[in-house]
Amino acid sequence: MFAVHLLAFHFAKLKEDQIKKVDRYLYHMRLSDDVLLDVMARFQAEMVKGLGRDTNPTATVKMLPSFVRSLPDGSESGDFLAVDLGGSQFRALEVKVFNDGKQSSQLESKFYPTPKEVIQGSGTELFSYVADCLSDFMESRNLKHKKLPLGFTFSFPCKQTKLEEVKFLLSWTKHFKARGVQGTDVVSSLHKALQKHKDIDVDVLAMVNDTVGTMMTCGYDDPRCEVGLIIGTGTNACYMEEMRHIDLVEGDEGRMCINTEWGAFGDDGALDDLRTEFDRELDLGSLNPGKQLFEKMISSLYLGELVRLILLKMTKEGLLFNGKVSAALLTKGKIEMKHVSAMEKYKEGLSNTKEILTELNLFPSEDDCIAVQHVCTIVSFRSANLCAAALAAILTRLRENKKLLRLRTTVGIDGGLYKTHPQYPKRLHKVVRRLVPNCDVRFLLSQSGSAKGAAMVTAVAYRLAAQRKQIDAVLAPFLLSLETLRDVMNKMRTELEYGLKRETQDRATVKMLPTYVCGTPDGTEKGKYLALDLGGTNFRVLLVKIRSGRRRSVRMYNKIFAIPLEIMQGTGEELFDHIVQCIADFLEYMGIKGARLPLGFTFSFPCRQASIDKGTLVGWTKGFKATDCEGEDVVDMLREAIRRRNEFDLDIVAVVNDTVGTMMTCGYEDPNCEIGLIAGTGSNVCYMEDMKNIEIVEGNEGKMCINTEWGGFGDNGCIDNIRTKYDKEVDEGSLNAGKQRYEKMTSGMYLGEIVRQILIDLTKQGLLFRGQISESLRKRGIFETKFLSQIESDRLALLQVRRILQQLGLDSTCEDSIIVKEVCGAVSRRAAQLCGAGLAAIVEKKRENRGVEHLQITVGVDGTLYKLHPHFSRVLQETVRELAPRCDVTFMLSEDGSGKGAALITAVAKRLHNVGQK
């Protein structure tokens, strides 16, 4: 028994000595975690370089866009063909994908050899061989009568311009060297070869790299899969990158799969400090010296040869086989990866090693077998370490792109080295987890290879094309041509004229209400004025101090009060009592309760005025519904409420619309401002009209401001041709169905609701949110217009868009976010264009009024939609320029709102009244 223990101890000591000997000899191949973290940092820098337009030409890691923008979502279905070229065998497949809720598929395939004379012959011969094999496969599967889409896995670095278009092969890798292919269009070459087979009808829909194919195969089984990794004859990785980081492709929405082509990492010398003399010797003897240096340290095509070169040198130095070199050991390619894997097997490793070395006529001792086995371990372990460092760099980038403290993701893997080497997967996983402890990574083996992935890419492309068609059909009615906008402009012009004429005014939808504001500020206004501003969910009270002369200025003090929904939709008496309560609070706050100040009342609802201080409410808009107000003079109602309170008295001089207030505010700064536009909760315009054109008011001299109340444009059906079913749904669900139709297509109060209706429709069609309509999406008003402004912001990444949607209870994918952003864009763009068409009608009317060939005019603008939406103002201005090219329109933002305008109107009215008294 003692003898047995002694023998075991002796063997263990012998093994330890041999391992130490090899460790010392191959010291540079054993990489510490610090070195691997450094490699990871170098690779991260190369990724950034490869993604940049200016730096890509000199980057070794080319970061090639694959034009694969979407992972499988389980709704794919159909019959697809795939071919896979890039490894030691060529493969043809038929893949049936079922949309049965189980994400199931059927796969039939056939392998064909890749003869050396074909893969190192001419390009024409290579693609003819691929076409012949595919024809044979289709014959065997009885598919020649069918027209089928084909996905092509081509595992070499290519520059793509579309999913189905390859501009050219950058370089051959692995053992491929077909002449006349580099720099040519690969898909075109395959098309030509297939055209010679008149009996088959195949449409090449997608060309992908094997890493992309692997990711898509695994992504079909696990939606979290966003990395593809190949560790076999060659090595490479792909991952889903944010479009905003990919300078080489137009657009910044969503993600695209990037084929890193990491095999060339270090071709610029970046890894020279890690490359050994054996790496250099192997490279010099390869088909492509100086290229794919990282791959030559990792992939199975080269690891066997690395082991042979190490063993040869150790033998020549007398460290192995008594210094006797066999002819086999001198022969390139005699040790292959399969030998390395066999020698590293846990139990049979030493016996396998002895057998393999004996076949090489080396007659090893036990010491030799232990040493050789350890050489294999060091070479393959270094491969796993380097692979782990580069993969850790990709995982870190994914985590940082998503702004997560911890990433949960899946890596799809394929390749003979990973699949057949007994220790490789365990080593790789362990090192990755050590290098990126903040990433929870699942490693998923691709059971069906990358070719199924090519079919999946094709299936996804099919699905996306069908979805695109459906989405385009939904949004098509929102895309207004210049001709349609011109028609809207002409109809608006007609309605403006109807509103001004005595005999047509009653039936006009654009009411063209006289405001009795007949002058604009001239700089002599002065004094203290009170202003009220009612028009939305907030009510503002202001004290405005106007100074005239050289030190002309306007100083304002204001306080904002909320108008609760129950007050907005209660009785008129309650509403005006609430307004007076707010005034009382403000006067007390300012310490001026005893002063009898002139007051201007901005009342942003359609009123019929008989004078500047009388305004009869025509009808409520923007969610107000207070009873006993319509048909009443709002100034009288305010006076009554002040009397009821019996605390203070005010001199109500003017009641004005917010558009008029905006025009006057801007007119104080720019005398050329004769139009006021509100684009906010509501939508409206006023402008200075020649008295001679206003038939409903006596007098022909001078001008008067007309409050168009254009929100009612179209209430007679004249723009029904551009109203969509979503507009009709929003209108029917509103407080004033059938009224303010133009406003409901252009104003902030309604745009979010239009978007919500479209999102519901798209979800019902299975195009959004996996077809699940959430409870929150069913709630009217949940999608506020402020969300459109946020979602459409150019500065906002899709991750932030997803967060906004999640706040609304909508669990969206990246693709969902892109569609939602597109819907918001279509709705807000149409609103801005329609607003622009209406405004163009007014500026053209102003030009004709003045009888000039070219008009210069300023439009004063206020409203949250115009101010806060990232694109509304630009689109509106572009539309006016296109439709009214003879009008040079300046848009001036009203910084102080329509409340200041009300004070200015009051001041102007006081000035004109005083002049009249003299």
CA 751/CA 732 separation, integer angstroms:
15
* Virtual torsion, Cα 369, 373, 375, 381, nearest 10 deg: -170
Say how far residue 336 (Cα) sits from the centre of its chain: 47
- Of 70, 135, 604, 812, the catalytic one is 604
* Residue recorded with tokens 């060091």: 378
For 255-282, b/e burial (b = at least 16 CB within 10 A) is bbbbbbbbbbbbbeebbeebbbebbebb
- Of 210, 658, 715, 731, the catalytic one is 658
Catalytic residue status for 533:
no
Residues 414, 214: contact at Cβ < 8 Å? yes
Residues contacting 46, CB < 8 A, separation 6+: 59, 60, 61, 265, 270
Residues contacting 822, CB < 8 A, separation 6+: 471, 475
E strand intervals along 249-297: 255-259
Residues 641, 577: contact at Cβ < 8 Å? yes
User: For the residues of 765-811, what is the DSSP string, one character each?
Assistant: TTSSGGG---TGGGSTT-S-HHHHHHHT-TT--HHHHHHHHHHTT--
Tokens (6 digits) for 252: 């910044």
Residues contacting 649, CB < 8 A, separation 6+: 596, 642
Residues 58, 417: contact at Cβ < 8 Å? no
- Paired residues of 497 in beta bridges: none
Helix, strand, coil % over all residues of the chain, rounded to 5: 45, 20, 35
Name the DSSP letter for residue 326.
Answer: P
* SS3 category, 411: strand
Tokens (6 digits) for 450: 């990358």
State how far the alpha carbon of 700 is from the alpha carbons of 662, 674, 675, 708, in Å.
25, 18, 20, 19
Residues 167, 185: contact at Cβ < 8 Å? yes
Tokens (6 digits) for 218: 């695994």
- Of 42, 69, 427, 540, the catalytic one is 540
* Virtual torsion, Cα 19, 418, 211, 133, nearest 10 deg: 120
- Paired residues of 441 in beta bridges: 409
Hey, how many other C-beta atoms are within 10 angstroms of the C-beta on 176? 22
CA 579/CA 390 separation, integer angstroms:
67
* Virtual torsion, Cα 801, 803, 809, 810, nearest 10 deg: 40
* Virtual torsion, Cα 835, 836, 837, 842, nearest 10 deg: 100
* Residue recorded with tokens 């990489």: 31
* Residue recorded with tokens 């000039």: 852
Residues 847, 886: contact at Cβ < 8 Å? yes
Give the type of residue at 731: D
CA 305/CA 330 separation, integer angstroms:
11
Name the DSSP letter for residue 832.
Answer: H
CA 533/CA 903 separation, integer angstroms:
10
Catalytic residue status for 433:
no
Q: In what order do the strands lie in the sheet with 147-154?
A: 104-113, 89-98, 78-85, 147-154, 201-208
| 607-611 and 614-617 beta bridge pairing | antiparallel
CA 612/CA 634 separation, integer angstroms:
12
Cα angle 364, 366, 370; round to 5: 100
Catalytic residue status for 540:
yes
* Residue recorded with tokens 């050590």: 434
Residues 171, 288: contact at Cβ < 8 Å? yes
Active site residues: 540, 604, 658
